[in-house]
Chain A
Amino acid sequence: MNVLEKVENKYIKTDIPDFKAGDKVKVNIKIREENKERIQTFEGIVIKIQGTGINKTFTVRKISFSVGVERTFLVNSPMIASITKLNTGIVRRSRLYYLRKKIGKKSKVEFEK
Chain B
Amino acid sequence: MRYLSTSKLAAVIGGAVIVMASTSALAMDAEAAKGLARQNNCLKCHGVDKDKDGPAYNKVAAKYKGKADAEDKLIRHITSGEKAKFPDGHEEEHKIVKTTPPNDKDQIKNLVQWILAQ
Bound pair (A, B): no
Binding site for B on A (CB under 8 A): none
